[in-house]
A and B are shown apart, each in its own frame.
Chain A
Amino acid sequence: MTMAPIGTNAGPVPSRARAAQALLARFGVLIGFAAVILFFAVSSPTFLTLGNITNMLVNNVALLAMVALGMTIVIASGGIDLSVGTAVDLASMVFIMLMAAGHGLMVGLLGAIAVAAVVGAVNAILITRLRISPFLATLGVLFIGQSVQQLSSDGGNPIYLFSSDMAHKFSFIGHGSLLGISIPLWIVAVSYIGVFIVLHYARFGRYVYALGAEPGVAWYSGLRIKRDTAAIYVLSAVLAGIAGIILSCTVRCYVPLSGNAFILDAIGAAFIGTTISLERRPTVIGTLVGVLLLGIVKNGLLLVGWNFYWQQVGTGVVILLVLATSFATRRHVGEA
């Protein structure tokens, strides 16, 4: 193939400084990742022990990983899902209620997934039928979800499952392990591999990215964008619902409004992930890196003795640093 007669279309050749910036933009997160690990490894002797790493993956990473995975699909399609916390909570609530009522595990699991899917379906209807922007639609669902929880839990009382009779049916989901790896991590791994395949090797994934790049082109190209959008939000809610199930199985109770803690971290993780993709797209691998980075920061700050509230500050600072570096360098590179 012949090369274009370059002239008007070619920007100036990036200088060496620009090239360095482009490199920093891409690998900044990975460098930061290494720096964070090094810092905690030096300041805390327990940080790099196998016990702590497992603990971190199960307690700081697994739940966020599930929520962020759904968020990745949504953001890749050009949307946002603020109702993921609601899906986590409602799935958790329905699961615990069904278990408390003495139903079998399968009923509990299906009920929890179903209620999460309903949350996604409501989002989908608001966005595709009523044409409300994803931000406002999912914000509305977030508020509705909070009220639903308060109404069904006498104003926000947790539901505890004290009886080990009831808990033994499901506690292996939160605490068990298979081949030496804990069950929540298995669930995360399977979900990530599944979504990775769908996003990068299936038609649906291509449609997701096309919607995110230019919905008008997707529509004019004959894609069924309403159906695809609906599937995206249902998928996001179901993945969050699975996080809700893992949460209930781990703590053996339902605490209202605990899912909201994941919203911003999930969005942050997905955006951190975009910085390592060449095309700046949300990707499964990128999100995994983002989730691990946030998890390590939380775990590390705990180990060096910062309390919960300072951990939030730490997470916020990390997200801001990564995004600031990325956007600042992107601006320079992009304007060339």
Chain B
Amino acid sequence: MTATSRPPALSMRGITKAFGPVKALADADLRVERGTIHGLVGQNGAGKSTIIKILAGLFRPDRGTIEIDGEPQTHLNPRQVEARGIHIIHQDRLLVPTFTVGESLFLGHEGGFGAFGLLNRRRMQRQAGEALRRYFSGIDLPIEALIADLTTAQQKIVQITRALLNRPSILVLDEPTAALNKGEVDTLFTTLRGLRDEGISVIFISHYMQEIENLCDRVTILRNGKDVGTVDPRTTPIGDIVAMMIARDIKEMFPGRKRKIGAPALEIRDLTVKGKFEDVSLSVRRGEIVGITGLIGSGAKEFLQTIYGLRRADGGQVLIGGKRVVIDTPAKAVAHGVALVPEDRRSHGVALDLSIRENVTLSSLSRYGSMGFIHAGRERSGVDALIGELDVKAAGREVLVRKLSGGNQQKVVLAKWLSRESSVYLLDEPTVGVDVGSKVEIYQLLSRLAEKGAGILVLSTDLIELMGICDHLVVLYRGRVVAALRTAETDTDDVLKWATGAQASTRPDMPAATMPAS
């Protein structure tokens, strides 16, 4: 096949789109060759989603041309786009929770399953099973399971498989890995590489630079609505790509460390939840940021949940500020000054249909009034101060949190705990789905909190992040602490060896896919 002689699978040129006075895209180009995996990166607001929505036929560009397979397109609508073989997996399109996996996979394509409009359920189940095994061979996903009972990762796999069943010529994935664990990501990448080799073009949007580096053949960087470069990520250093995205140096991402370490803020002694983790001890002092990491199944997540009272401990002690406490509900954790920034922001972090103000003060209302009542003026000024301090980008405190970007939603979660003046912060994957700009701000905020004397424990699987912000690092493997390291004296390769068990066991390498799924 001579790819060069044929027109590109997709060519978008000079795309301009304004919403009122705001230019979302200004003369942006995107050219995707046939049979390649093409990354698309940029901060929130750079225009990634807008250009994808234009490709999807959801927005009409003000100017610019779109060619699919060399054919100019005018007035694209979503149906035409699908007919042309372009399938888009949006970041948060939902599946029907009461359907089974099999039903969801063929939703809208039931035509082939029986005469007289009746569905041949058994055949549907069987084909669904085959499809899942073909594309995600390593993943165990019961075909009769209800969507509502699946994890976010499993739901994502169902969505992707559903798109693949349509035999797309261009597959667009908008942050598909945000909810996936390492093993699932590996399987997805293998599938995508297989599709590329079949001649399908993949457009891959991600905030994770390592994924771009591992997967993509080309990557286009958008900044402020303009493409600022298309490079080969395998030969271009990640730092250069990030620098193009944010127009500054990657080293500036992480704040400097000039913190004064004080008395212990949080001490954990031999904490145990049977079947999850055993005898985990660690200590976080005031002014200190401690990282904790481990693969799925390492027990790190459950450990954090147990400290916050979301799980009942089978043994061990928790001390806050040197005093022994028993925390068996989040309410008690909050009462002891412990804050949790949960991983699942939309279900546990912020109430999307409440305003910024209502979210920020939810855990600390007693500070904004007396006798059970809320002093509206005090609440307003308190919230405004926090919005200013955290630089939450919104039109005002009454805006619904639903309208904010992931990064700004995360700032609202942090503002909620700042409002409570918490002394211990537990953070569970604090920068998942957060753009680079907000990441930097969150790192700086954590650093400021530590300087003010808070104790901070960060769970993350982003090792660059942990190395960048933490003083100490605790690695869990299969429910036990296998390493306690000073970040200044270690590197990501070393941490990864501990986390995968390669360091501890005699086996040379522990494939991530064999780790028990959560």
Answer yes or no: are A and B bound together in one complex.
yes
Contact with A along B384-420 (1 / 0, CB 8 A): 0001100101110000100111001000000010000
- Asked if B374 contacts A201 (CB within 8 A), the reply is yes
Which parts of A133-154 form the interface with B (CB within 8 Å)?
Answer: none
B362 with A5: CB separation less than 8 A: no
| Cβ contact within 8 Å between A216 and B347 | yes
**Contact flag A209-B354 (CB < 8 Å), given A8-B45, A13-B20, A224-B331:** yes
- Evaluate contact between B373 and A201: CB separation under 8 angstroms: yes
Question: B331, A9: Cβ atoms under 8 Å?
Answer: no
Inter-chain contact B354/A210, CB cutoff 8 Å? yes
With a cutoff of 8 Å between Cβ atoms, the chain A residues found around residue B369 in the complex are 203
Assuming A8-B46, A220-B340, is B362 touching A206 (CB within 8 A)?
Answer: yes
Closest-CB distance, B422 to chain A (whole angstroms): 10
Tell me the bound Cα distance from A279 to B333 in angstroms.
31
Q: Does A1 contact B (CB under 8 A)?
A: yes
Given contacts A9-B405, A13-B20, A214-B347, are A201 and B376 in contact (CB under 8 A)?
Answer: yes
By size class, the interface of chain A is 20 to 34
Chain B residue with minimal CB distance to A203?
Answer: B365
A51 touches B (CB below 8 Å): no
A216/B348 in contact, CB under 8 A:
yes
Which of B47-55, B94-102, B228-236, B271-279 forms part of the interface with chain A? B47-55
Given A8-B47, A9-B403, A214-B353, A203 and B394 contact (CB-CB distance below 8 Å): no
Contact mask for chain B residues 33-66; partner A; CB cutoff 8 A; 1 contact, 0 none: 0000000000011111110000000010000000
Within 8 A of B (CB), among A5-19: 5-13
Is A221 an interface position by the 8 A CB rule?
A: yes
- Contacting A at CB under 8 A, from B68-126, are none
A217 interfacial by beta-carbon distance below 8 Å = yes
Interface size class of B (residues with CB under 8 A): 35 or more
| Given the contacts A1-B388, A221-B363, A7 and B393 also touching, CB distance less than 8 Å | no
CB distance from B203 to the nearest CB of A (A): 15
Query: A8 near B351 (CB under 8 angstroms)?
Result: no
Q: Does any Cβ of A come within 8 Å of B14's Cβ? A: no
A213/B393 contact (C-beta < 8 A), A222-B334, A223-B331 known:
no
Complex Cα gap A221–B335 (Å): 11
8 Å CB contact of A8 from B340, B352, B405: B405
Task: State whether A214 and B24 are in contact (beta carbons under 8 Å apart), knowing that A8-B45, A8-B48, A202-B374 are contacts in the complex.
Answer: no
For residue B170, CB closer than 8 A to chain A, the reply is no
Contact B49 A8 (CB under 8 A): yes
Give a binary string over A203-239; 1 marks a CB under 8 Å from any B CB, 0 the rest: 1101001100110111111111000000000000000
Q: Tell me whether A213 and B50 are in contact in the complex, defined as CB-CB below 8 angstroms, given that A8-B24, A206-B374 are known contacts.
A: no
What's the minimum C-beta distance from B390 to chain A, rounded to whole angstroms?
11
Check B362 against A210 for contact (C-beta < 8 Å).
yes
A222 near B335 (CB under 8 angstroms)?
yes
A206–B374 Cα gap in the complex (Å)? 9
Contacts of B45 in A (CB 8 A): 4-9
Q: Does B129 contact A (CB under 8 A)?
A: no
Q: Out of B224, B352, B376, B387, which one reaches A214, CB within 8 Å?
A: B352
Chain A residues, CB < 8 A from B44: 7-9
CB-defined interface of B165-191 with A at 8 Å, one 1/0 digit per residue?
000000000000000000000000000
Q: Is A164 an interface residue (CB 8 A)?
A: no
Q: Is the CB of B348 within 8 A of A3?
A: no
- A163 beta carbon closer than 8 Å to chain B: no
Q: CB-CB < 8 A to B138: which residues of A?
A: none
**Does chain B have a CB within 8 A of A49?**
no
Chain B residues contacting A202 (CB-CB under 8 Å) are 372-374
Task: Find chain A residues with CB under 8 A from B225 CB.
Answer: 7
Interface flag for B366 (CB, 8 Å): yes
Q: Which residues of B contact A221 (CB under 8 A)?
A: 330, 334, 362-363, 416
Residues of B within 8 A of A4 (CB): 45, 393-395, 405, 408
Residues of B within 8 A of A6 (CB): 19, 22, 24, 45
Task: Find out whether the CB atom of A7 lies under 8 angstroms from the CB atom of B403.
Answer: no
Query: Which residues from chain A contact B330 at a C-beta distance below 8 Å?
Result: 219-222
| B372/A204 in contact, CB under 8 A | yes
Q: Does B321 contact A (CB under 8 A)?
A: no
Residues from chain B with Cβ under 8 Å of A10 in the complex: 19, 22, 24
Instruction: Report 30 cross-chain contacts, Cβ distance below 8 Å, ordered by A residue.
Output: A2-B391, A2-B393, A4-B393, A4-B395, A5-B45, A6-B45, A7-B50, A9-B403, A11-B19, A12-B59, A201-B373, A202-B374, A203-B369, A204-B372, A209-B358, A210-B362, A213-B351, A214-B350, A214-B352, A214-B353, A214-B354, A217-B349, A217-B350, A217-B362, A220-B348, A221-B330, A222-B330, A222-B334, A224-B331, A279-B400
**B interface vs A, CB < 8 Å?**
19-20, 22, 24-25, 44-50, 59, 224-225, 310, 330-331, 333-335, 340, 342, 344, 347-355, 358-359, 361-363, 365-366, 369, 372-374, 376, 387-388, 391, 393-395, 400, 403-405, 408, 416
15 extra interface residue pairs, beta carbon distance < 8 Å, beyond A201-B373, A217-B359 = A4-B45, A4-B394, A4-B395, A7-B22, A7-B45, A8-B47, A8-B405, A9-B405, A10-B24, A202-B373, A202-B374, A216-B347, A217-B350, A217-B362, A222-B331
Lowest 6 A-B CB distances belong to which pairs? A222-B334, A8-B49, A4-B393, A213-B351, A7-B24, A5-B45
